[in-house]
Amino acid sequence: MLVIAATDLSEQALLGVIDAFVLREGTDYGHRDISLDEKRDRVMQLLQAGKAEIQFHPETDFITIEMR
């Protein structure tokens, strides 16, 4: 597993990783509907605060965001 800094990705690639994460089944945010932009912002804040990290698993070619 490799940890990838958000700053190492282009804006478009980072947005793709975040979208794949927030749109993944099982990432519901509770009883209130939250817009895609709000979800993106929350994940970006977690990445910037060091509370989450981007992980790439080369053996499966899978990239995800994990909370620390």
| pLDDT on residue 35 | 86
Q: What is the mean pLDDT of each run of 10 residues along the chain (68 residues)?
A: 96 96 72 84 96 97 94
| pLDDT on residue 24 | 84
Which CATH number does the domain housing residue 39 bear?
1.10.10.610
Residue 38: give the domain boundaries: 2-67
**Which pair of structure tokens corresponds to residue 34?**
């939250």
User: What is the count of structural domains for the chain?
Assistant: 1
Distances (CA, A) of 65 to 5, 31, 32, 59: 11, 23, 22, 17
32 half-sphere exposure, CB direction, 13 A CA radius: 4
| pLDDT on residue 44 | 96
pTM, whole model, 2 decimals? 0.84
| pLDDT on residue 15 | 96
| pLDDT on residue 1 | 94
User: Torsion-angle region of residue 26: left (phi > 0), alpha (psi -120 to 50) or beta?
Assistant: left
3-state secondary structure 31-44: CCCCCHHHHHHHHH
